[in-house]
């Protein structure tokens, strides 16, 4: 049986402070677990020099493990994933944020869970078991919990955390799901799970702790909340 390989997609925009730490942690956990991996950095033309930092990291860890697939400008998450999948050589793909809100220590647990249940998707959940959120104010917690709660009622997705983005997928499964998705922004992560259910894919869950970003600006504002509401109604009407 061929050995599994894991491709981590890291979309970045202004993450020069976080990138060295997240890559060091990823390499540490993969190497300790003796897992075959590559980290694909998809930088969307960051003005803060993220790509230059990524090039230095590639020199340190080698181009077998650090793959750079930058784009000229900010084109959004969905297209970043499509771009990343195109270059991924692993049979599994892991998607996570580059801002240290997702800790790589959970990845071996994702892999273990996937192997145990032969799942198509393994999703990190902040809302089950010992999962949780740290560093958010009450407003952010209410928005996230509320978004999940409303979605559970309307769409019954069979997963407890829909707006998180820390997940592991079979590569061909992610490809099919992403190509079917029409949402952008905050709703996109939710649509991925809804489409996975629609296509009959199996979903496992691993409790994770989410820590608010260490460096830089958070990207959630009022326009995202309005976009979420519109996206939810669209999915409710079409799935």
pLDDT in tens, 140-194: 677 777 776 776 676 665 677 877 889 999 999 999 999 898 887 667 888 898 8
Q: Which are the contacts of 31, defined by CB distance < 8 A and separation ≥ 6?
A: none
Go through the domains of the chain in sequence order and give each one's CATH number.
5-238 (3.90.550.10)
Beta strand 167-170 with 92-95 is antiparallel
Q: Kindly tell me if the per-residue pLDDT of 121 is higher than 90.
A: yes
Residue 208 CA to residue 121 CA, distance in Å, equals: 15
CA–chain centroid gap for 238, Å, is: 24
Q: What is the DSSP letter of 214?
A: S
pLDDT number for residue 56: 96
Rounded (10°) angle between helices 171-180 and 77-87: 150
**Paired tokens of 226:** 């309005």
The string of pLDDT tens digits covering residues 20-71 is 999 999 999 999 999 999 999 999 999 999 999 999 999 999 999 999 999 9
pTM above 0.85, yes or no: no
């Amino acid at each position: 049986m061929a050995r599994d390989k894991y491709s981590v997609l890291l979309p970045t925009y202004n993450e020069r402070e976080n990138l060295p730490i997240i890559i060091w942690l990823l390499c540490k956990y993969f190497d300790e677990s003796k897992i075959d991996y590559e980290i694909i950095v998809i930088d969307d033309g960051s003005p803060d020099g993220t790509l230059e930092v990524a090039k230095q990291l590639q020199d340190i860890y080698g181009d077998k493990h650090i793959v750079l697939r930058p784009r000229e400008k900010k084109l959004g998450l969905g297209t970043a994933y499509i771009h990343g999948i195109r270059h991924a050589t692993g049979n599994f793909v892991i998607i996570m944020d580059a801002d240290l809100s997702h800790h790589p220590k959970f990845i071996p647990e994702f892999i273990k869970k996937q192997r145990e249940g032969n799942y198509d998707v393994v999703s990190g959940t902040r809302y089950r078991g010992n999962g949780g959120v740290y560093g958010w104010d009450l407003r952010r917690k209410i928005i996230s919990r509320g978004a999940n709660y409303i979605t559970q009622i309307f769409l019954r997705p069979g997963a407890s955390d829909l707006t998180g983005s820390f997940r592991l997928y079979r590569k061909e499964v992610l490809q099919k799901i992403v190509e079917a998705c029409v949402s952008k922004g905050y709703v996109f992560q939710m649509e991925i799970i809804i489409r996975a259910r629609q296509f009959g894919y199996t979903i496992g869950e691993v409790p994770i702790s989410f820590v608010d970003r260490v460096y830089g600006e958070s990207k959630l504002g009022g326009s995202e909340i309005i976009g979420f509401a519109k996206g939810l109604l669209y999915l409710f009407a079409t799935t």
